[in-house]
């Protein structure tokens, strides 16, 4: 095909614009693998890019979308051949490299991960970058030595994409999950994912004490700012918090007290430039540690033509779980 459907972001006088257009295949960027994109997803970062609420996009024009699953059409890379089923996320996709909200993508073969046999392309994007990030956070807690026997684990932004998957995985692994949310109406939803307790996010939103009562052995945080500061102050001796988001801000108004008096560790989770070997481990674990029934419960499907209209809702906290985008 000479042209294909894509959501293109352009620079405008007062910010950016995003629209579904016909994109010329000749304008795709350099890469040694061309993929027919079948599914993508709507992540928080996608919402920022499509709405222009934050400077996510670094070049224009840009095709939005930070992750996809699809089938290789052409390849000069030694690891990939036509017909291979692949996943791609991170590496600047949708930011500096033309992204996933398009019927075709051309990328570097080194960026691709083979789609596990027990995960469909749709399910891979129902998991998406949010779910893959949640798995990286769980792996980091495990590596630090946080086990179900260590005590409860907290999950913030629990009704969101990262939080929903983290809650489901941790519960499946036997952890006592304390889910934090600003939406009391999602209590039954979170308990259905396996949360043992649901707390109001206001318990973590005030100014953080240097040290507060010890409540959990570990946590997965996608919120940042004061929430992360409170999580750290309430983490048990030699516990750890895996930080992977900034929905409330990039600041961290805390002190060194949790680190030097309780030996708490702050584990940074980066999904964008994560090494290939860790990506493969994460996707393999997602195939075994995330129940398909739970994944179905947290997933809603939309079409490519609906992305622009819904992008703002994920920023407003009006989206539950995961949104998977059918591309072609």
In 89-184, alpha helices (H)? 121-144, 161-172
pLDDT in tens, 139-177: 999 999 999 999 999 999 999 989 999 999 999 999 999
Q: How far, in Å, CA of 291 to CA of 96, rounded?
A: 34
| Chain-centroid distance, C-alpha 58 | 20
When pLDDT is cut at 50, 70 and 90, the band that residue 182 belongs to is very high
Please, what is the average pLDDT of the chain? Answer: 95
Instruction: Tell whether the model's pLDDT for residue 270 goes beyond 60.
Output: yes
- Cα–Cα distances in Å, from 271 out to 4, 131, 217, 223? 28, 10, 23, 16
| 321 or 7: which leads in pLDDT | 7
Domains and CATH numbers, the chain: 3-115+298-326 (3.90.180.10), 129-268 (3.40.50.720)
86: tokens are 């692949």
3-class secondary structure per residue, 129-146: HHHHHHHHHHHHHHHHCC
- End-to-end CA separation in angstroms for the chain: 13
Q: Is-cis flag, bond preceding 61, omega within 30?
A: yes
Q: How far, in Å, CA of 186 to CA of 65, rounded?
A: 27
Instruction: Tell whether the model's pLDDT for residue 320 goes beyond 90.
Output: no
């Amino acid at each position: 095909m000479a042209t294909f459907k894509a959501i293109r972001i352009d620079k405008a006088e007062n910010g950016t614009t995003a629209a579904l257009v016909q994109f010329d295949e000749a304008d795709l960027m350099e890469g040694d693998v061309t993929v027919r994109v079948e599914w993508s997803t709507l992540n928080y970062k996608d919402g920022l890019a499509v709405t222009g609420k934050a400077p996510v996009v670094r070049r224009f024009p840009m095709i939005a979308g930070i992750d996809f699953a699809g089938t290789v059409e052409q390849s000069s890379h030694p690891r990939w051949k036509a017909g291979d089923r692949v996943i791609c996320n991170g590496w600047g996709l949708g930011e500096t490299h033309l992204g996933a909200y398009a019927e075709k993508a051309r990328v570097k073969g080194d960026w691709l991960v083979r789609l596990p046999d027990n995960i469909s392309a749709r399910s891979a994007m129902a998991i998406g970058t949010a779910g893959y990030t949640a798995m990286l956070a769980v792996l980091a807690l495990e590596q630090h030595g946080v086990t179900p026997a260590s005590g409860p684990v907290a999950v913030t932004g629990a009704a969101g994409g990262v939080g929903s998957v983290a809650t489901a995985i941790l519960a499946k692994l036997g952890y006592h999950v304390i889910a934090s949310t600003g939406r009391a109406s999602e209590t039954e939803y979170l308990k259905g994912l396996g949360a043992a307790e649901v707390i109001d996010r206001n318990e973590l939103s005030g100014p953080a004490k240097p040290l507060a009562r010890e409540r959990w052995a570990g946590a997965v945080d996608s919120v940042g700012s004061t929430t992360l500061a409170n999580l750290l102050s309430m983490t048990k001796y030699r516990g750890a918090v895996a930080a992977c988001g900034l929905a409330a801000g990039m600041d961290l108004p805390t002190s060194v007290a949790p680190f030097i008096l309780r030996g708490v560790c702050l584990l940074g989770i980066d999904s964008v430039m994560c090494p290939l070997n860790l990506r493969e481990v994460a996707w393999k674990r997602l195939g075994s540690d995330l129940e398909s029934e739970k994944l179905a419960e947290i997933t809603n499907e939309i079409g490519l033509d609906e992305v622009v209209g819904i992008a703002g809702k994920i920023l407003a906290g009006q989206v539950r779980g995961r949104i998977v985008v059918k591309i072609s």
